[in-house]
Amino acid sequence: MRRRSAILLATTLMCLPPMARGGHELPVYPSYYPHEIAISSAAPQQAIELLRAGKLHAYVGRGVRFPDNPTATIGSVESLGSFVVIRLNANAALAKAPASACAAMRALLRSMADRAGELILHPYPVTPYHGDYLYHADLAAAARVRLLGEADAAARVGQALRVKSDTPLARSLIRPEWLSADGRWDAAIEEIDARDLLSSAALMTNAWLAPRALRSGWFHAYRLLADALDDATAQREIRADFERLDHARYDTGVERINLERDLVKALTTGCRAVVAGYTVKREYFNAEFSAGVENIGYDTLTGLASPMFLRTVKLKDFPWNGWLQLGIGSRPDAAWNPIAGFSDPFGRLMWFAIADPAVIPAPYDSGWMLNRFSEVQAMPQPP
């Protein structure tokens, strides 16, 4: 009888489910994808209210400014915002001779130094936000010394300057008496959005992003300054260096770095056009638990408008995916196709979400990283 009871008890225990213990999910999931992404247009003030209310996970783009310090539930990331470029009028008398052109440029830069505000004065086109900046750090320091010297000559030339500007930031950097009011101008101050500079040169398909040098500082310097050259010989030499870099016609990494330095040095030798500095873009996201997001990767050049952001951001209240709510500052206005469209902020962000390129921009470097394949070394099989 006892043996029968023991057999019955053992049989019953075997039929019961095994004991399970609950635990916490891991906080980081590489290659995380939300199963639904909503991208909506929102004015900056509206975005602030939505972020504070927990109805928006992140705002992709510029323009959001909290009137006071945001609470601990609002996080932010910083990336390159814009370049501020000074261009001299080729028809102006002071632009005819190199000495007077450089004196005028120094006068403008010294004025900007006194009124910098949001501008970080950096008279060199490769910034610390570029992954290849260390290759140019000594050239950037030399350019600062060259263009911010000779205060007396700069002050004399500055008395007669007429300047036109196209943005509120540009106008705030110049003495009010210098601003042109009659259409005549000696110099123009432009603010060029870093994201627009990249996107206007980019080609996106479902397999790749191009060109290869899209994220390099020398490539941005070429796009910013090449059209200011008026010497035919210098134009040919710079174009030849550009083609060598663009088509990887070099043998070693040292040769490549020297080519990059030589190209930017040639672009910044004169004073007809100078990158005066740059601004920093700050983008905000909801970090509240559990309505916010975490594990955010972003790009130092484009911020949250990057494939890395959408492949890493994770909703705190979902272990694997969820409903990601994003805001942008403009309405969709481009065609929706990968050949002629996806060229506005909404289209690019959507294409980052639905495309699956083999390589994507590395978040803190000038290069690229593998996305959906790996470089695997074959291992010899044992005999």
Q: Can you give the residue ranges of every domain in the chain?
A: 36-79+288-370
Query: In degrees rounded to 5, what are phi and psi of residue 77?
Result: -130, 150
What are the Cα distances from residue 377, in Å, to 230, 239, 367, 370, 373? 50, 38, 21, 15, 13
**Closest by Cα among 360, 345, 347, 344 to 311:** 360
Task: Write the pLDDT tens digit of every residue in 9-56.
Answer: 344 434 444 443 434 444 444 455 677 889 999 999 999 999 998 899
**In this structure, are residues 242 and 81 in contact, taking their beta carbons and an 8 Å threshold?**
no
Q: What separation, in Å, do the N-terminal and C-terminal C-alpha atoms of the chain show?
A: 60
Give the residue-averaged pLDDT of 80-94: 92
What kind and span of H or E run contains 192?
strand 187-193
Q: Which residues of 176-205 are buried (b: 16+ CB within 10 A; e: fewer)?
A: eebbbeeeebbbbbbbbbbbebbbeeeebe
DSSP 311: H
For residue range 113-136, list pLDDT tens digits in order.
888 789 999 999 999 999 999 999
pTM for the model: 0.83
